[in-house]
């Protein structure tokens, strides 16, 4: 999909979009890809049921500015922990901003009980289903756009 806003070359963020290995839902990923692209980002969408190794290979290959994980099948709090552990123990992945959101468990509004453990596992932000998906574009918009810029601003 074409971007709706013009950005100078070098200003686009590269976002790696994924879900967990257990999750076969796809429209959440399609929705987020379109939303992120409309906000001027380049999106690499790994599709459904992504094993942690496939995600980590993609992290190394694409070196994204940020990683967005979406999960809706109710296992997000478990898949998310495995993703965060792999990411934060990897020399390339350890400093890349990563967020997770969607229906992270099967407890409805009480899924917010998983927020702290996902943050502790290594996510920079956790969004429950009660928040508008646009929170993610706002959050990503506030990040510096390249590893070099991230280093300079830290
Ligand atoms: C379509 C659907 C399916 C299809 C998926 C087809 C496909 N190719 O995608 C099929 C039939 C395959 C399916 C299977 C299953 N499903 Co289903 N499915 C749905 C359904 C009806 C719609 C999902 C959808 O496409 N929504 C449209 C997208 C655009 O919206 P979304 O997914 O809600 O995502 C939004 C938000 O969550 C949020 N969001 C999502 N991720 C992120 C990330 C960030 C960072 C942010 C900020 C926001 C965000 O933004 C999105 C847009 O608003 C929902 C019920 C419902 N009405 O939501 C159940 C639902 C998601 N499924 C559910 C379940 C349990 C399953 C199964 C486990 C059932 C089973 N026992 O086999 C399997 C999953 C198997 C697996 N391995 O994952 C449950 C999950 C329960 C929970 N988490 O509380 C739901 C909620 C149904 C229910 N009420 O019980 N499903």
Alpha helices in the chain (DSSP H): 27-38, 52-62, 76-88, 115-121, 134-141, 147-153
| Cα gap 111→120, rounded to integer Å | 16
Q: Tell me the C-alpha distance between 17 and 59, whole Å.
A: 10
Report if pTM > 0.75: yes
Q: Tens digit of pLDDT for each residue in 110-130?
A: 999 999 999 999 999 999 998
CA of 128 to the centre of ligand 1 (A): 14
For residue 107, the tally of other CB atoms under 10 A from its CB is: 13
Task: Walk along the chain (154 residues) and give the pLDDT tens digit of each residue.
Answer: 443 444 445 568 999 999 999 999 999 999 999 999 999 999 999 999 999 999 999 999 999 999 999 999 999 999 999 999 999 999 999 999 999 999 999 999 999 999 999 999 999 999 999 889 999 999 998 886 545 544 444 4
Q: Which residues line ligand 1 (CB under 6 A)?
A: 22-28, 31-32, 68, 70, 72-74, 99, 101-103, 106, 127, 129, 133, 135-136
- What's the CA gap between 80 and 129, in Å, rounded? 15
Question: Which domains are present in the chain?
Answer: 14-146 (3.40.50.280)
Q: According to the model, what pLDDT value does residue 142 have? A: 86
């Amino acid at each position: 999909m074409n971007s709706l806003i013009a950005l100078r070359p070098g200003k686009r963020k590269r976002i790696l979009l994924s879900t967990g290995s257990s999750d076969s839902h796809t429209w959440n990923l399609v929705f987020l890809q379109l939303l992120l692209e409309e906000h001027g980002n380049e999106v690499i969408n790994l599709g459904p049921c992504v094993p942690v190794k496939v995600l980590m290979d993609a992290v190394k290959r694409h070196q994204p500015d940020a990683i967005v994980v979406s999960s809706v099948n109710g296992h997000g709090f478990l898949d998310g922990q495995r993703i965060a552990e792999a990411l934060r123990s990897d020399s390339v992945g350890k400093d890349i901003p990563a967020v997770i959101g969607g229906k992270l468990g099967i407890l409805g509004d009480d899924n917010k009980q998983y927020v702290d453990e996902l943050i502790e596992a290594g996510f920079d932000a956790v969004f429950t289903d009660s928040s508008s998906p646009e929170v993610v574009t706002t959050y990503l918009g506030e990040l510096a756009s390249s590893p070099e810029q991230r280093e300079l601003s830290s």
